[in-house]
Amino acid sequence: MRSRRPLLAALTTAALAAGALAGFAGLGTAAGPADDLTTAAASTGGVKIAYYDQWSVYGNAFYPKHLDTRGIAGKVDVINYSFGNIHPTDLTCFEANKAAGDDANPNAGDGAGDSYADYQKSFVAADSVDGVADTWNQPIVGVFNQFKELKAKYPQLKINISLGGWTYSKFFHDAAKTDASRKKLVASCVKQYIQGDLPVEGGYGGAGAAAGIFDGIDIDWEYPGSANGHLGNHYGPEDKANFTLLLAEFRKQLDEYGTAHGGKKYLLTAALPAGQDKIKYIETDKIGAYLDYANIMTYDMHGAWDADGPTYHQSPLYSPASDPTDPIAPGTQKYSIDNAIDAWLDGNAAYGIAGGFPANKLTLGYEFYYRGWKGVPAGARNGLAQSATGASAARPVSQQAGIAHYKELGGIVDNAATTFWDDEAKAAYFYKDGEFFTGLDKRAIQARADYAHNRGLAGAMMYSLLGLDANATLFNDIVTAVGSSPNPDPTPTPTPSPSNPTPSPSPSNPTPSPSDPPSGCSAAAWSSTAVYTGGGLVSHKGHTWKAQWWTQGEEPGTTGEWGVWLDQGAC
């Protein structure tokens, strides 16, 4: 079988100086029967998560302000800011102003980072969210300060720091190896991003300088246990268990910090692979206990790294009999979104995948870029499943052969004469003058959203906002297709202790029996020592409260808007 290692996101020269590259190397998995999308129930699937890249502020001049002026900030639930890095020797979260190397360099991300973009780049009034120019005596400037201004305008918006990505995943393996190293990494990330203690650089930073900006942490380890990440990545078989333990430690420390600081609920999410060759190294039946959302990278299944083809969809919803590509070894299945979700939810014995991940915490990835080939004959299907002579020509913004942003292909993607539909794979493709591109249009977006509704999934993850045009066309199509956002907290499975990832009942600490409720309330009174599970009702201070997940000792009314307890109203 030919190698299918996805290419990197293309950056401008200035962006390369900024550091980490994108995390979109999620390969799909095996085939299965098509679901009846016409019967999709639109009661699920409304959460919207999108990535904003660190390097957006350079040559592309795509500032946080544009998240406001283009109508994005009011429609998205969570923004993941990509990416933070792990220090190669300290194995901690850190800040640096050092460019990453090129993809052929096994040490490309070692010690790299962009503290300048993060909190040292000043914004003039015209480029600032609040229309006021930064001044020299602010604690911080940069993207972090712009996010602070954005959140003041959109208080419902949550922002996560995303750690890792394609270039910065090298040292996850080392940091996750022992209980001590896990605790050290997590504590450093909470201190730097959640507590906001930034190192003083360029006259900015200091203790608490970034406090209140980030609402959680996104883990983008590409990939635990797999040799198919960036050249030079560290990995090993122990990653499978250690990834679970690392997530458990993040969940534990985020919860502890939130409890100690006003009862705030901090998010923990992860970008996760869609290929069975990578999913098999993850404990799919355990990690859902710790994550609020798992964002499956359902794109980059095919691309011009196979320079001579065959051309095929980068994100097919299904893999029909006409799929000309090779199966995933050692099985017989091919890459598709449907097969990826089957693996996460239901498992796949042929690849050693347990399944068991909660559907209502899982989002599908939507890509804002296109994969392309050149020298493609039209053939019987307008370039689909044909040979090629290489990657499509580099475009001015993406600056990399084989990839183009939506805003660079408007004349092809928005032209009915060059847009085609594969009704078997439920995927769009585009062909003109020997160039073949694969990616999203409105019909493909709707099919993917209908599929998510049909399977009871959480919603959409979008990579990345940098690829949008000025009208945010694809973003708005996704917002319309997935529907209104639900309460942003799914109903998690009980959170086990980090030393016992698989939860089990505790007969010595049972669910509380009814007690005398407050006057006028029918539910039992809340008890600080009782254990409650998702859906449990209690009475407290004249109100009825509903638990969204396992909890003990968290007083209703004190856990914040994303907390465990939902107010059901006065008794």
Active-site residue list: 222
What distance in Å separates the CA atoms of residue 447 and residue 438, rounded to the nearest whole number? 15
Side-chain half-sphere exposure of 374, counting CA atoms within 13 A:
10
Query: What's the token pair of residue 490?
Result: 């799914």
Coil/strand/helix, residue 184: helix
Largest CA distance in the chain: 77
Q: How far is CA 146 from CA 140, 141, 341, 545, in A?
A: 10, 7, 36, 36
Indicate the helix (H) or strand (E) that contains 288.
Answer: none
Distances (CA, A) of 561 to 79, 213, 215, 265, 556: 17, 16, 12, 8, 11
Assess contact for 290 and 217: CB atoms under 8 A: no
Contact (CB, 8 A) for 163 and 194: no
Q: How many of the other CB atoms lie within 10 Å of CB of 502? A: 10
Closest CA to 28 of 351, 281, 298: 298
Torsion of Cα atoms, 163 then 499 then 275 then 338, to 10°: -110
Number of Cα atoms under 13 Å in the Cβ half of residue 141 = 22
**How far apart (Å, rounded) are the C-alpha atoms in residues 28 and 314?**
9
Separation between Cα atoms, residue 277 and residue 228, nearest integer Å: 9
CA 236: distance to chain centroid? Answer: 23
Quote the tokens at residue 400: 């990399």
**Separation between Cα atoms, residue 212 and residue 261, nearest integer Å:** 11
Pairwise CA distance, residues 564 & 550, whole Å? 8
Which residue type occupies 47?
V
Q: How far apart are CA 87 and CA 175, in angstroms?
A: 9
Q: Do residues 515 and 527 touch, judged by C-beta distance below 8 A?
A: yes
Distances (CA, A) of 419 to 369, 438, 447, 481: 15, 10, 16, 20
CA–CA gap between residue 228 and residue 168 (Å, rounded): 14
Residue 545 sits at φ, ψ, to 5 deg, of -125, 145
- C-alpha span between 310 and 388 (Å, rounded): 7
Exposure class string for 218-238: b at 16+ Cβ within 10 A, else e: bbbbbbbbbebbbeebebeee
